[in-house]
Amino acid sequence: MTPYEIVSIAIATLAFALSLYSAINTYYEKHIKTRVYLRWTYELGQQLNICLLVSNMSSRPSTITNIYFTNEDETVESSWFPVKLISQTRFNNDKVFVFSDCTPLNIPPRSSKTFVISFQNLRSTNIISDKMRFKFKIDNAQNIMEFHPKVVKLSNLLCK
C-alpha cells in the first residue's frame, strides 16, 4: 500500500466518524423531551390557577395542546380562553386586568416560558392536595405528571 492510499483511507475514516457523531448529535437534539414544572398553585372557589414553567431544549418548537387536571372523581380541561384572574390591579395609576393563558401553548426551540393556566367549574371542595395529577398533550403525545404543589396566598399575587 502506498502512502497516498493510507492517507486517503485515514481521511475517509475520520470523515465517517465525524459524520456519524454529527448524525447522532442531531438526532439527540431533535428528540429532547419538553419538561414541565409546577411553580405555584392558587385556589379561588371552584377555580384552580397554576403557574407552569415549560422548558423546551429541543432544536424543534414544541406545542402543548391540552392540559387536564385530575382530581378525586373528576377530570377538568384547562380553559380554552383567557380567564380574568383578579378583578384589577394598579400599575402607574392605570387599571390593569390580569388574565390567564390558554391552550395551545407554543414554546420556541431551546427556550423556557412561564404560563398561568386556569381550571374552572371544579366540583370538589378539596382541590389542592399533597400530589396533584395533570395530563398534558405535548406534541401529540400524552404525558401524565404528578407534582407536589406550592400554595400561594392572595396577598402575594396582588401587585401593590
Rounded to whole angstroms, what are the CA distances from 124 to 46, 80, 121, 131?
8, 21, 9, 15
Q: How far apart are CA 30 and CA 32, in angstroms?
A: 6
Q: Per residue of the chain (160 residues), give pLDDT as tens.
A: 888 899 999 999 999 999 999 999 888 888 888 999 999 888 888 888 899 999 999 889 999 999 999 887 888 898 888 888 765 566 677 777 788 898 899 999 999 999 999 998 888 777 788 888 999 999 888 988 888 887 776 555 544 3
Closest listed residue to residue 80, CA positions, set 70, 67, 69, 62: 67
pTM over cut 0.85: no
According to the model, what pLDDT value does residue 140 have?
Answer: 87
Q: How far apart are CA 10 and CA 64, in angstroms?
A: 47
